[in-house]
Amino acid sequence: MLVFGHGYSAGFLTPLLRAEGWQVTGTTRSDSARVTATGAEPLIWPGDDAAVGRAISGADAILVSIGPDSGSDPVLAAFGAQIAAARPRWLGYLSTTGVYGDRNGDWVDEKTPCAPTTQRGRERVAAEEGWQQLAARHGLPLHIFRLAGIYGPGRGPFAKVRQGTARRIIKPGQVFSRIHAEDIAQVLLASIKAPRPGAIYNVCDDDPAPPETVIGHAAELLGLPLPPAEDFATAGMSPMARSFYAENKRVSNNRIKTELGVTLRYPDYRAGLAALARAEGITVQNIGV
């Protein structure tokens, strides 16, 4: 397996692959130690294109986990032709549920037309289309995974709640879909074991939920007061943070269950936060989790 952009999510996939006998190589801009710690062999990129080319030619499977840069997909631009020539047995691209745009809280699934409302979403649609065109021209076994908001160890709300910096931003009717990083890894592994070239999968849990509810539950687990509520219209937020609230949808994950047979370890934020608390050695309040 060659992973372009061996970051947070790939760090959970690599141990699963290693347990199955895979050798994993992952590109990184500079953090070789982090890649090595997961059991993968690091490869600095951007850097030695020749070494990357050799890794491509020797890869049975390739996962692209690098987003668009300045409007184009850097992996597709630099190595699309080499990947096509190498003809891996499995090719995966990590995208985002942001490609669906704003649906006013309605449900979307993989058959829902893409209608991005942000520049990030439009760039992801263009990247998906670029990989699909490459796959169609060369018969590549492409699989696209549209990820919801990622959380997991080191990416949970507990630190902010404990520090008193967490806020409950209230925008009536707003929900977000989420996915625990361990569940991303098991979805990818299931796809590698049962390829369906051309497949697109939404990767999210069962329970789209308002962001303030998740923060409130984290505070309850810690036995701390609810963080202050702030109205979205007047809350001080960065343009990037505010842009996430411009899209409101519920994302269906039925296909990963029916086609890949995945049973989520963390089907909702309550299970996920309880697991994060255990992993961080946090004693939680007994509120039924």
| Confidence check: pLDDT of 226 > 90 | yes
How far is Cα 200 from Cα 146, in angstroms, rounded to an integer?
A: 7
Rounded distance between C-alpha atoms, residue 253 and residue 250, angstroms: 10
- Residue-wise pLDDT for 244-276, tens only, equals 899 999 999 999 999 999 999 999 999 999 999
Instruction: Give residue 205's identity as a one-letter amino acid code.
Output: D
CB neighbours of residue 190 within 10 Å = 16
| Span 204-228, average pLDDT | 95
The residue-averaged pLDDT of 192-221 equals 96
Tally of CA atoms within 13 A in the half-sphere of 180 that contains its CB? 22
Say if residue 285's pLDDT is above 80: no
1 touches 24 (CB < 8 A): yes
CB distance 100 to 43 below 8 Å: no
Q: Which is more confident, 281 or 16?
A: 16
- Residue 286's pLDDT is what? 59
The predicted pLDDT at position 284 comes to: 74
Provide the whole-model pTM: 0.95
Using DSSP's 3-state secondary structure scheme, residue 141 falls into coil
| Superfamily of chain region 2-155+177-208+251-267 | NAD(P)-binding Rossmann-like Domain (3.40.50.720)
Element (H, E) at 251: strand 250-251
Q: Is the pLDDT reported for residue 114 higher than 80? A: yes
Distance, CA of 289 to CA of 284 (rounded, Å): 9
User: What is each CA distance from 94 to 9, 131, 169, in whole angstroms?
Assistant: 10, 11, 28
**Which has more pLDDT, 90 or 284?**
90
- What is the C-alpha to C-alpha distance for residues 24 and 21, in angstroms, rounded to an integer? 10
pLDDT at 287: 53
| Rounded Cα–Cα distance for residues 144 and 128 (Å) | 8
Who contacts 151 (Cβ-Cβ below 8 Å, separation ≥6)? 178, 179, 180, 181, 272, 276
Q: Would you place residue 289 in the very low, low, confident or very high pLDDT band (cuts 50, 70, 90)? A: very low
Task: Name the residue ranges covered by the structural domains of the chain.
Answer: 2-155+177-208+251-267
The mean predicted confidence, pLDDT, of the chain is: 94
- Res. 71 pLDDT band, cuts 50 70 90: confident
> What's the pLDDT score for residue 282?
82
Report, as an integer, the average pLDDT of 210-219. 95
Residues 47-67 have pLDDT tens digits of: 889 999 999 999 999 999 999
Asked whether residue 288 carries a pLDDT value surpassing 60, the answer given is no
